Amino acid sequence: MRGLMMDYPLTLPPLLDRAEQLFGYREIVTRRPDRSVHRYQIADFVDRSRRLAVALQDLGVTRGDRIATLGWNHQQHLEAYFGIPAAGAVLHTLNLRLHPDDISYIANHAGDRIILVDDTLLPLLERFHSALSTEHIIVMSQGDKPELPRGMLDYEELLAAADPARYSPPLLQEQDAAAMCYTSGTTGMPKGVLYSHRSMVLHAMALAMADLFAIGESTSYLPVVPMFHVNSWGTPFSCVMMGAKQVLPGLNLDPASICELLAQENVTTTAGVPTIWLSILEHLDENPDKYDLSALELMLVGGAAAPPSMIEAFESRHGLNVVHAWGMTETSPLGSVSHVGPHHENASADERLALRAKQGRMAPLVEIRAMNDGEAVPWNGTSSGELEVRGPWVASEYFDSEQGAEFFTDDGWFRTGDIVTIDSDGYIEIRDRAKDVIKSGGEWISSIALENALMGHPSITEAAVIAIRHPKWIERPLAVIVTGDATPPTLAEIRTYLEPYFAAWWLPDAVEVVDQIPRTSTGKFKKRDLRKQFDGYQLPETD
């Protein structure tokens, strides 16, 4: 027997109506490039998002067209987040930290018809403009109207000329595409992930859940995670759905600028990758009493493993609550969040920290299994396998790509490439990405576990551990570290420091000091470059 409930499609445009009806007064704050602050209310935001939809339709945009953005986190970008899907088109955020050749490859592969670009990024666009097959370029400026190169359109002029009363939502089905992001290409050519209206609405609802990101009307939210990194983890959609205040930092992402905004705007929730929080931790340590961060309840960290020492330091030295989450472009991105549940309320401080450093438990509706040799491994916290996921906001295939079919199993799961253990309470711990794992004498060494421990050493600010070829063991770990000390710790000192935590054969065979660990376009350690840099590195033969 079929249930008798309405077949109501889950699409994004009704979120604009809801925001207008319920939260019109709520603020959206942007820090402009010149550091001045722009403020307006959700009512203005909804009006302008609809104007954008009308302006795009007037330019000939129709359902399913891909419209790209190349921009920092600011209110116009937020309008594009809603205005583009509200026109029935597909929001495609381009990653401005990629090489220009990669950006043009991705824009052309996606078939982007229009690009909305920040005026501050016109010099970047200039480097690949001629390779693009787009029809229009629309320039978003945060200050005075810039002198625009011929043929480019001014965002503000388009909006001023558009009549929001002419907006009528397109007839959308929930399975229609709403947005797309490309993977960063760490596992081959960049591949497009195409989100549906339905997946985005469900994902936005999930983020709002109390045991996930707890985004609600009283939230004041600052995304350090860029709007070009998996849609800023989907959080802007959740904030508009729930009526949260948004504080958008623009292009000033240095620790002092972020801390200032966190304090001035009474931010309650913020999100970013570990490298951002490591630099903010250092800044707060140097300026312990400078900022009043008493409103800050939740610092979400994800995208790469958060070292336990960092989680602990924020709490013990600054009273701040860092919560670890895991996800991928292919999972919208939210997969899991590591909150300590009531089941562990009597756990010791060390046990709680160990749990918080894990990647956590899956969001509702997301299923997981860890596979080894075609079998799901038991949830015992020690057996490891490749994490596979499925759920309503997990990709089922890549956009228009010959590649990547191997990531989707015949029985309907997505293979993440992450090697994990799952404990009996369902907490996932990522031991490594499959390609970063170090295989010594046929056994796995977790580079993440070593890095996390190394970053707890008082003299080490950053650490990445990579595999180096070895005549006997095939691969052995090399620790590449950044230190603030004039005399860096020696290999012997580092091994002694790590000894209590690891089997002897896990300890690095060599240490190299560098000025900075190379970063990916989304701020993670770029081990592929380190591997190139240390290619052919000679390790002594050990027993």
Catalytic residues: 183, 330, 439, 444
Q: How buried is 321 (Cβ within 10 angstroms: 0-12 exposed, 13-18 middle, 19+ buried)?
A: middle
* Nearer residue to ligand ADP within complex by CB, 359 or 483: 359
Applying CB under 6 A, the span of 56-64, 198-206, 278-286, 300-308 interacting with ligand ADP comes to: 300-308
Q: Does 304 bind ligand ADP (CB under 6 A)?
A: yes
Residue 150 neighbours by CB under 8 Å, 6+ apart = none
Q: How far is the CB of 199 from ligand ADP (least distance, A)?
A: 15
Task: Give φ, ψ of 476 to 5 degrees.
Answer: -140, 155
Residue 70 contacts residue 118 (beta carbons within 8 Å) = yes
Applying CB under 6 A, which of residues 11, 75, 141, 183 lies at the interface with ligand ADP? Answer: 183
What's the rounded Cα separation, in Å, for the pair 29 and 32?
10
Applying CB under 6 A, the span of 52-60, 280-288, 510-518, 520-528 interacting with ligand ADP comes to: 520-528
Q: Does 184 bind ligand ADP (CB under 6 A)?
A: yes
Torsion, CA 224, CA 228, CA 230, CA 236, rounded to 10: 60
Applying CB under 6 A, the span of 18-26, 61-69, 128-136, 296-304 interacting with ligand ADP comes to: 296-304
CA 415 to chain centre: 19
Total residues contacting ligand ADP (rule CB under 6 A)?
22
Applying CB under 6 A, the span of 24-32, 302-310, 314-322, 485-493 interacting with ligand ADP comes to: 302-310
* Nearer residue to ligand ADP within complex by CB, 31 or 356: 356
Applying CB under 6 A, which of residues 305, 323, 438, 511 lies at the interface with ligand ADP? Answer: 305
Applying CB under 6 A, which of residues 416, 421, 440, 447 lies at the interface with ligand ADP? Answer: 416
Binding residues for ligand ADP restricted to 336-395, rule: CB under 6 A = 359
Let me know the angle formed at the C-alpha of 186 by 202 and 103, rounded to the nearest 5 degrees.
80
What's the rounded Cα separation, in Å, for the pair 283 and 183?
31
Using DSSP's 3-state secondary structure scheme, residue 343 falls into helix
Residue 36 neighbours by CB under 8 Å, 6+ apart = none
Q: Does 517 bind ligand ADP (CB under 6 A)?
A: no
Its sign, for the CA torsion 236, 239, 241, 244, is negative
Q: How far is the CB of 521 from ligand ADP (least distance, A)?
A: 7
Applying CB under 6 A, the span of 234-242, 251-259, 301-309, 315-323 interacting with ligand ADP comes to: 301-309
Binding residues for ligand ADP restricted to 420-459, rule: CB under 6 A = 430, 433
Q: How far is the CB of 185 from ligand ADP (least distance, A)?
A: 7
* Nearer residue to ligand ADP within complex by CB, 88 or 303: 303
* Nearer residue to ligand ADP within complex by CB, 125 or 181: 181
Q: How far is the CB of 305 from ligand ADP (least distance, A)?
A: 4
Q: Which residue from 491, 463, 401, 485 is spatially nearest to 193, judged by alpha carbons?
A: 401
Q: Does 186 bind ligand ADP (CB under 6 A)?
A: yes
Let me know the angle formed at the C-alpha of 428 by 235 and 186, rounded to the nearest 5 degrees.
65
Using DSSP's 3-state secondary structure scheme, residue 512 falls into strand
Token pair, residue 526, equals 């770029």
Q: How far is the CB of 398 from ligand ADP (least distance, A)?
A: 13
* Nearer residue to ligand ADP within complex by CB, 98 or 320: 98
Applying CB under 6 A, the span of 87-95, 118-126, 377-385, 411-419 interacting with ligand ADP comes to: 411-419
What's 489's DSSP letter?
P
Q: How far is the CB of 272 from ligand ADP (least distance, A)?
A: 12
The single residue listed with the structure tokens 């999972």 is: 331
Binding residues for ligand ADP restricted to 317-336, rule: CB under 6 A = 324-329
What's the rounded Cα separation, in Å, for the pair 424 and 141?
52
Using DSSP's 3-state secondary structure scheme, residue 65 falls into coil
Applying CB under 6 A, which of residues 303, 307, 391, 456 lies at the interface with ligand ADP? Answer: 303
What's the rounded Cα separation, in Å, for the pair 143 and 161?
19
What's the rounded Cα separation, in Å, for the pair 347 and 363?
23
Q: Does 75 bind ligand ADP (CB under 6 A)?
A: no
**Mask 22-61, x = binds ligand ADP (CB under 6 A)?**
----------------------------------------
Q: How far is the CB of 333 from ligand ADP (least distance, A)?
A: 6
SS (H, E, C) 249-288: CECCCCHHHHHHHHHHCCCCEEEECHHHHHHHHHHHHHCC
Q: How far is the CB of 535 from ligand ADP (least distance, A)?
A: 21
Q: How far is the CB of 152 from ligand ADP (least distance, A)?
A: 30
Instruction: Walk across the sheet containing 136-140 and list its strands.
Output: 153-154, 136-140, 112-118, 66-70, 90-93, 177-182, 192-196
Q: Does 272 bind ligand ADP (CB under 6 A)?
A: no
Q: How far is the CB of 330 from ligand ADP (least distance, A)?
A: 7
Q: In the bound complex, which residue of the shown chain has the CB atom lying closest to ligand ADP? A: 184
What's 22's DSSP letter?
H
What's the rounded Cα separation, in Å, for the pair 302 and 334?
10
Applying CB under 6 A, the span of 35-43, 276-284, 365-373, 412-420 interacting with ligand ADP comes to: 412-420
Q: Which residues bind ligand ADP (CB under 6 A)?
A: 183-184, 186, 302-305, 324-329, 359, 416-418, 430, 433, 520, 522, 524
